[in-house]
Chain A
Amino acid sequence: MDTQIDKLLSNGPKVVNIGLHSFFEAAKAQGIPTVHIKWEPPAQGNQELLHLLNELL
């Protein structure tokens, strides 16, 4: 049975881009399906609150 890795290699990448906007632009320029997440630091960068949120994952 094909794994998710096999499907990635045979179908090609369909990308959720999180972070650098230039990588989203590069994916679009190569004509692959892609979406970009408008990312910002979770919990407004508050490390303590982030730690608590991570516990919930």
Chain B
Amino acid sequence: MSVVKTHLIHQEYRDSVQLMRAAASVTKEVEGIQIASVLMGTPKNKPLLDEVGLLTPEASSADANDIVISIRADTLAIADEAIDFIINFLSQTVQASHDSTLLYRSIRGALEGLPDANLAVISVPGEYAARDSHIALMTGLNVLLFSDNVSLSDEIRLKKEAHEKGLLLMGPDCGTAMIKNIGLGFCNIVNPGPIGIIAASGTGTQEVMTLCHHLNLGVTHAIGTGSRDVKDSVGGITMIDGLHALERDSSIELIILVSKPPEAKTMDKIVKEIKNSSKPVIIIFLGKEHGYCDIEDKSLTVNTLEEAAYAAANFFTSKKLERSIIRFEDEASIKEILYDSNQQIKPSQKYIRGLFAGGTFTFESAQIIRDLLLENEVLNTNVHLEGTVIIEDENTSKGHTLIDMGADEFTQGKPHPMIDQTERTQRFLREIKDPETAVILLDFVLGYGSHPDPISDMEDAFMQWKKIDQKIPIIAHVCGTQLDPQDYNKSIERLTDHGVIVMPTNAQAARLAALIALREELNYIH
């Protein structure tokens, strides 16, 4: 038995994070809810309601400025309680955030309040983002375009416009940036210092900057380009403009470039720029084997995010650009973990199951695990990487499976796992009951923008994991620093207290998971 109830709040626009927090909160707080959805009544959102049977005539009648609260619950009384909860939740968030700055209605108006503004951070729904970016560029502002779903043609037009005006356009889909040590979007806080990053990957940037921090290095800028910047149709406009800007900035001594491999013409262009660069550059084009642009004292290519950070540490010690390969920081304890897991896991437990919040963490893990698996073994994933197989059904693991749970197919109308881990927790509970699961890989991303306490979201699930008969090691990596708003040390401590094995880098976590699943001993890995 279930009932569906809709409630509209007319002419009250709220951003998607506020609405999704309300939906996630009511699901946790009110018992008997089957589905809770809180969305704006935009043409894009209505099909999402339709898919789950919540597009009532009332929901259909909503316009883009109406909040649509849709509940499927066991009883009408529960649905009413849930709606009241959400109305109350939303009214509290507006009171908490209410101050005079909310009065600005336009970019031009806002510039009267902050005449020396130099950056517009734009995170409106994608279909409106190009318009606002254009207005920002017209008024002389650099732009961080966080929104996704911006068309490629709009991206090209906006980047050309920015370039001609001597402005920077980071994005679209730029999740992470740092300017003069201030984090923007989803960003960790790290020590300031002489490293500048240019990256087409949000979590890739976060991993490199936090690892640099833990190696006692400092990062001052991280310029996000958006993932399509290195397509030939865009031509790396932001990457090259960013590279030039970091070269001109006298506080920067070393540049780290993080991206998927550029398309052919853009690759040639970027390599040419690097050859002419006045500063040393460490390059990681994820998925591309190193060696394509190694020039003594000028540039070094590496394979993983951790190698980029280690190479940076090397550079500041020796002033040389050299690859530094570390399989594990603490090999003795890894040997122990491998011994214990070999004793505990049963022969039927064969497969790695990776449930990731970060797209680049999924990709890097896939790259590492693919190279360690035996030739006849298949790695299923929802990220595109040569030598792996795209999973048939992303909701059902099959064999070795790595899933980016922040991918579009999981986040349509639902919060990203860096904000809320309800979906990932449910998936985790399924994986621990699967007799074929040998080891589970998880990532936790701290920093501004992310969940205020991501470990707490999964603690009930960890309690259940401890109760089941089947012993499954869980390997986690926490991407963060002691300067982040979440408590980094405490986060690791809480995971360890639960029995989770916490690794210092995503790459080492992936390597360990592969060794456990393969019942390898440390000596076998090269």
Q: Which residues of A line the B interface, CB within 8 A?
A: 3-27, 29-30, 32-42, 44-45, 47, 50, 54, 57
Contact = CB atoms under 8 A, between A and B. Distances in A.
B105 A38 contact: yes
Interface residues of B, number: 68
A32 B448 CA distance: 14
A9 B121 contact: no
Contacts of A44: 63-65
Interface stretch (B112-120, B311-319, B357-365, B392-400): B112-120
Contacts of B131: 42, 50, 54, 57
Point out which of A18, A26, A29 has the most chain B C-beta atoms below 10 A from its C-beta. A18
Given A15-B117, A37-B105, A8 B125 contact: no
Interface string B182-208: 111100010000000000000000000
Contacts of A24: 97, 101
A28 to B, nearest CB: 9
Given A6-B248, A18-B122, A45-B64, A36 B147 contact: no
Contact of B119 (A6, A14, A41, A54): A14
Interface string B286-317: 00000000000000000000000000000000
Interface of B: 13, 15-18, 40, 42-43, 63-65, 97, 101-107, 109-111, 113-114, 116-125, 127-128, 131-132, 134-136, 138, 140-142, 146-147, 165-168, 179-185, 189, 221, 241, 245-246, 248-249, 448-449, 485
B contacts with A: majority SS: mixed
List 6 A-B pairs, minimum CB-CB distance, nearest first.
A45-B64, A19-B123, A12-B180, A40-B13, A3-B166, A26-B448
A24 B118 CA distance: 15
B146 to A, nearest CB: 7
Given A23-B123, A45-B65, A9 B180 contact: yes
Contacts of A16: 107, 110-111, 114, 117, 119-121, 136, 141
Given A33-B114, A35-B113, A39-B13, 11 more contacts: A8-B118, A9-B180, A9-B249, A14-B119, A19-B15, A19-B124, A27-B182, A30-B183, A39-B15, A42-B131, A57-B134
Contacts of B147: 19
Contacts of A12: 179-182
B65 A40 contact: yes
A18 B185 contact: no
A45 B124 CA distance: 13
A6 B247 CA distance: 10
Contacts of A18: 107, 120-124, 132, 136
Given A30-B182, A36-B102, A37-B106, A14 B117 contact: yes
A29 to B, nearest CB: 7
Nearest to B447: A26
A5 to B, nearest CB: 5
Contacts of A36: 101-102, 104, 110
17 contacts: A3-B166, A3-B245, A4-B142, A5-B142, A5-B241, A5-B245, A17-B120, A21-B17, A29-B485, A36-B104, A37-B109, A39-B15, A40-B65, A41-B40, A41-B125, A44-B65, A57-B134
A20 B185 CA distance: 10
Contacts of B103: 38
Contacts of B109: 37
